[in-house]
Amino acid sequence: MPIGLLYLVLLVLAFFLLVVLPQRRQLAAHRALVNSLKVGDEIITTGGIHGTIRGVDETILHVEVADGVELRLARGAVASRVGPRPDEITAEEAEGRVDPGEGG
């Protein structure tokens, strides 16, 4: 095998390991986030809009961004779910004695 071909194979392998695999992981994580959204979750959209989910359809989310203002968004427009603010975390949660998902 010529050395030039070996370098080409190594370059393609490095590209795959450094670019393609991390992108696949990121896509899978986003897909899992979108599939786990439920009413009451606070989210941030890819456009930077903060809101609370008020309704969930198969492909559309109904997001309240202010009192009486509701947007219809595609599920894929969600960038992240917002966790509880530090002032909403109880002392037990801060010390790790209670799972924050248990609600108290």
Q: What is the DSSP string of 40-95?
A: T-EEEETT--EEEEEEE-SSEEEEEEETTEEEEEEGGGEEEE----GGGS-HHHHT
83 and 71 together in one domain: yes
Number of residues written out for the chain: 104
Q: In total, how many domains does the chain have?
A: 2
74 and 46 together in one domain: yes
Task: Check: pTM over 0.75? Answer yes or no.
Answer: no
Q: What domain range is 74 assigned to? A: 38-104
96 and 47 together in one domain: yes
104 and 75 together in one domain: yes
44 and 21 together in one domain: no
Each residue's pLDDT tens digit in the chain (104 positions)? 688 889 999 999 999 889 889 999 999 999 999 999 999 999 999 999 999 999 999 999 999 999 999 999 999 999 999 976 655 556 656 666 655 555 44
20 and 71 together in one domain: no
89 and 50 together in one domain: yes
99 and 89 together in one domain: yes
